[in-house]
Structure 1
Amino acid sequence: MYGLSKAQRYSARLQFQNESRLMTTKLIMLEYVFVGIAFLCAVGIVLFYNAKKNINGNAEFSSCRNPNCVRCVQYQQVIIRAYERYQQLSKIHKENKDSTGRIHKSLHRNIVHSNGSSEQLLNHYSEPNPLVFDLKELNLNDLYDPSTTDQFTDDVRVLQDNKDKICSDFHRINRPQYQHLWLKNDTPFGQWSVFHLINQGKTVVNNIKHCEKTFEIISGLQNIMKRNVFGNVVFSVINPGTVISTHYGPTNIRIRCHLGLITVDECTLTVSGKQRKWKEGECLLFNDAFPHGVTHAGKEGDSSRCVLIVDLWHPDISLQERNSIDYIFSPVNR
């Protein structure tokens, strides 16, 4: 800088300082960019890993955020209240104690081992694991053939013979003006919508008035479970791209019956690792105490899968046991 005037030296120094500051700013910005990219990569890896676990059925117990859900939130309150009501029932009907012995044993065992269902991991893929009430000494099958299970034959025939009437009710409530009556269940991908006629043992009056034919039909079923917290009747719609993670139901005392209304080949039910597809106008029966999940592999624009779900009593439960369970597990504020 020798030979330069004082003004020139000052200008050169100022330019050097400005260039240094600009270089520092660029380096800081570049550092932020690298940190941001690293963060996004980490988030992407986590999301991909969790999604892969859900799809493969290796994720933790699938739960929802509904504060009234018996399976996911209120399991401890339900089992404790049930034990208290069993004690009341025993005092009222002392002579029936022998016939409800396995209910008492199962309730006691459930209270002792209740440790927070939402934190349980999936067991072996083929084993049942009811998360609220596990009734012992039941003959358990994951899937049921309605044509060879005598107790379900008549109920299945009634549902299948009235498929058109039930489907007519479904198409009515599936119109835009009734969408506010549908609920959205939590799923890792896609959308699963439900329209309850009976929700955890409670009749949904506002919904029934739009489905009077269907409610009349299901009310006449011999084995319908409708007076305790485990009983539901619900229209269920699964949109293309939806994944319902592998999970367990709250009890082993019910058999879920799905009447196919609108079925698609891309939608699959998996129970204990066995894949099944719905057929229009036919019933599919399984015990949801076994690990199960649903995947609709269709693309946007494909048809949704639509069924009517009806909970039926397990065939090994006597009429006296049914009445006792209805009292013990009666809905709160019915």
Structure 2
Amino acid sequence: MFNQILLMVPGSLRALLGRTRSLDKLGDIHHSNALLDQTIQAYLNVLQMKDLLSDTLFKEIAYRCINRIIFRGHHIKAVPIHRSLIKLFPEDPHHSNQLAVTYLNINKMVEAKRVLTNILRIWPQNGFAMAHYGFVLKVGDNNIEKSVGFLRHGIASREPGTLDGRFFFQLGDALMRLGRGNEALEVYEQGVKEELFLSKYQRSLYNVKRLTAQPWWEPEQTNYSEYFKVIQDNWQVIRAEGMAALEEKHILFQDEAENLKEIGNWKQLELYVRGRRMDSSCAKVPQTCKLVANFPAARDCRRGQVKFSVMEPGTHIWPHCGPTNCRLRAHLGLVVPSNTYIRVAEETRTWEEGKILIFDDSFEHEVWHNGSTMRLVLIIDVWHPELTDQEKKSLPDI
């Protein structure tokens, strides 16, 4: 119908908008990228007719177009629309804030910081901008001390978008690293009250709430005890391959990349990442990868990894939480010197060579290496045993 009207009246805004919204609905129904691309272009065409649109309608269409562009995964293509909104409605900080969010979603910290700095220059008490600016200072700049004030004020404003687990998570982490542990605990407890965290120790942000939550697990509790036994029975084979990989200079054990280390040296060699086999690494440790390949809950865990982890003496890993409660983490001790410890929630343990430790890394955990020689473990993430097969298939990767 709308196409027929447009043939007769090519400039009909009502018909063009009606056709665009119909395409939008069809794209949702059929899950079609081709229809989604047509929808985006149609919205862009409507936005070109801004002189015929009321301010309210222009904003509605602009943000729906941004939504569709981001859903398509083309975040950077939304930036010109954000800038049009900022230019047309310069008195409203919301539009600049949304541009900053789009930049953050594609990890463009410098651009986001520039936008947020300008917002706070004009609207210094804007809580949304303060919370996001504090996040950028903490995560992007590692300016921990300065981030605390902005995160605190942003959260305290309780403006829409500020009661977000990520802000509570980073504020608590910043306070803890500054030696202000009691204040950090207060932030985490507030996060629990706001229903952002499962508990003060279990602060993962991507969760299935019904899953059993406990810091430490025994193999028999996981439903994977037979698989773990095979891994454990072959620990010397795994250790030999791990040690050989360490000795080959062209095998690159990567530095930990999440800024979790206070001091020392901590590297890892990834074998499986989000359910994908790292062929170049596995070529050097084939028996280890074969063992993992025969362990479906580890091999197919799209919310986890399998990796060798080597830690040198004098290393301390800050207290931290994994991103999701949908996995459990097993450590197979391979080379374990004395005076090495791991705390999960309120209980501290150590590793044993040839033995597996299993914990839920969505709980706060911390590691110390106060020994005199390197520590080597194999880390194996597995699906939480209470997830259904459908959940394992449908949950997005992390």
After TM superposition, the score normalised by the length of structure 1 is 0.59
Contact 1:255–1:314, Cα closer than 8 Å, also in 2: yes
Which residue does 1:280 correspond to in 2? 353
Which residue does 2:391 correspond to in 1? 321
Count of residues paired in the alignment: 217
- From 263, 267, 279, the equivalent of 1:189 is 263
CA distance in 1, matches of 2:358, 2:139: 23
CA distance in 2, matches of 1:149, 1:226: 20
Residue 167 in 1 paired to residue 239 in 2? Answer: yes
After superposition, residues 201-220 of structure 1 pair within 5 angstroms as: 201-220=275-294
**1:118, CA displacement in angstroms?**
6.0
**1:222, CA displacement in angstroms?**
3.6
CA distance in 2, matches of 1:150, 1:315: 6
Paired AA for residue 183 in structure 1: Q
**1:227, CA displacement in angstroms?**
5.0
Paired AA for residue 287 in structure 1: D
**1:113, CA displacement in angstroms?**
4.0
Contact 2:272–2:299, Cα closer than 8 Å, also in 1: no
- From 133, 137, 154, the equivalent of 2:210 is 137
**1:322, CA displacement in angstroms?**
1.1
Which residue does 1:309 correspond to in 2? 379
1:118 to 1:150, Cα distance in 2 relative to 1, 3 A: closer
Which residue does 1:53 correspond to in 2? none
Residue 119 in 1 paired to residue 170 in 2? Answer: yes
**1:145, CA displacement in angstroms?**
1.4
Which residue does 2:223 correspond to in 1? 151
* Divergent runs of 4+, >3 A: 111-118
CA distance in 2, matches of 1:278, 1:158: 18
Which residue does 1:260 correspond to in 2? 333
Contact 2:169–2:203, Cα closer than 8 Å, also in 1: no
RMSD: 2.7
**1:171, CA displacement in angstroms?**
1.2
Identity %: 27
In structure 1, stretches of 5+ residues that fail to align are 1-59, 66-110
After TM superposition, the score normalised by the length of structure 2 is 0.50
Output one character per residue of 1:10-57: Cα deviation in whole Å (capped at 9) or x when no partner.
xxxxxxxxxxxxxxxxxxxxxxxxxxxxxxxxxxxxxxxxxxxxxxxx
CA distance in 2, matches of 1:203, 1:154: 22
CA distance in 1, matches of 2:248, 2:313: 19
Paired AA for residue 375 in structure 2: R
Q: Secondary structure at the match of 2:208?
A: coil
Which residue does 2:249 correspond to in 1? 177
1:194 to 1:64, Cα distance in 2 relative to 1, 3 A: farther
Higher RCO, Cα 8 Å, sep 6+: 1
After superposition, residues 199-238 of structure 1 pair within 5 angstroms as: 199-224=273-298, 226-228=300-302, 230-238=303-311
CA distance in 2, matches of 1:250, 1:189: 22
1:258 to 1:288, Cα distance in 2 relative to 1, 3 A: same
Q: Secondary structure at the match of 1:315?
A: coil
